[in-house]
């Protein structure tokens, strides 16, 4: 396993554990995240709030990685992401969703400098519409 994939997989592990502080420890100070809608978020403080909010909205969010590729300091991870949309913290099994995902991590000195998410947002958006969110 390449060093880039190892760091990216550690980051996924922290996501799956909902360990925001562990995720922040794996980010560079100028960390950037670009989501699949093209929204750019920069910096650890921004990411702390973003991930805490996301884990509140999808309390059982998980990423399952099936395939990885690396070239130098770039890692690509492919798999499935999913969870249960929980408006107001209420878990309803009918709000569960899954979607294919590709993640690109740019690694700098064993930290994630950039995290890009490529996924279809329609499965969770459908759940949000049905729940009135």
Q: Which CATH number is 31's domain given?
A: 3.10.450.50
What's the whole-number mean pLDDT along residues 92-120? 96
**What strands lie across the sheet with 111-119, from one edge to the other?**
40-42, 27-34, 111-119, 96-108, 74-84, 62-71
Contact between 34 and 114 (Cβ < 8 Å):
yes
* Structure confidence at residue 41 (pLDDT): 96
pLDDT value at 44 more than 90: yes
Q: pLDDT tens, 49-100?
A: 999 999 999 999 999 999 999 999 999 999 999 999 999 889 999 999 999 9
- Residue closest to 74 by CA, chosen among 104, 35, 117, 44: 104
User: Which segments of the chain are extended strands (E)?
Assistant: 27-34, 40-42, 62-71, 74-84, 96-108, 111-119
Domain count, the chain: 1
Residues of the domain holding 115: 3-131
Global confidence as pTM: 0.93
**Sign of CA pseudo-dihedral 81, 87, 91, 97:** negative
């Amino acid at each position: 396993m390449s060093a880039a994939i190892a760091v990216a997989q550690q980051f996924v592990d922290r996501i799956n554990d909902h360990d925001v502080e562990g995720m922040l420890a794996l980010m560079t100070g100028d960390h950037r995240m670009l989501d699949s809608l093209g929204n750019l978020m920069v910096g650890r403080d921004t990411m702390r709030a973003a991930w805490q909010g996301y884990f509140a909205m999808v309390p059982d969010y998980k990423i399952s990685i099936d395939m990885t590729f690396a070239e130098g300091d770039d890692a690509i991870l492919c798999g499935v992401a999913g969870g249960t949309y929980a408006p107001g913290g209420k878990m309803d099994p009918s709000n569960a969703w899954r979607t294919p995902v590709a993640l690109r991590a740019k690694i700098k000195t064993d930290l994630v400098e950039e995290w890009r998410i490529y996924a279809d947002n329609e499965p969770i958006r459908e759940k949000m519409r049905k729940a009135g969110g």
